[in-house]
Amino acid sequence: MTMWTGIVLIVFISMLFGYLTKRARYQLGDARITDRLGKQDVIINKLQERIANLEAIVIEEEKHKPFKEL
């Protein structure tokens, strides 16, 4: 193996590792975004449940309101 072949081989391997590292970072970034969106979905569902509970409480209060005025 000549010196130039060794240099080209080292450059090629370093480029390959750089590409694989960048690809892994993008995949991890996508996983982080997906995880973040999953957490947001859970928070949105909890808020929707709370809103439904508050609406039910308001409806019950409206039903009892005429009797409270008596």
DSSP labels for the chain? --HHHHHHHHHHHHHHHHHHHHHHHHHHHHHHHHHHHHHHHHHHHHHHHHHHHHHHHHHHHHHHHHHHT-
Please give the model's pTM, rounded to 2 decimal places. Answer: 0.47
Query: 31: pLDDT confidence band, cut at 50, 70 and 90?
Result: low
pLDDT at position 1 over 70:
no
Per-residue model confidence (pLDDT) at position 54: 92
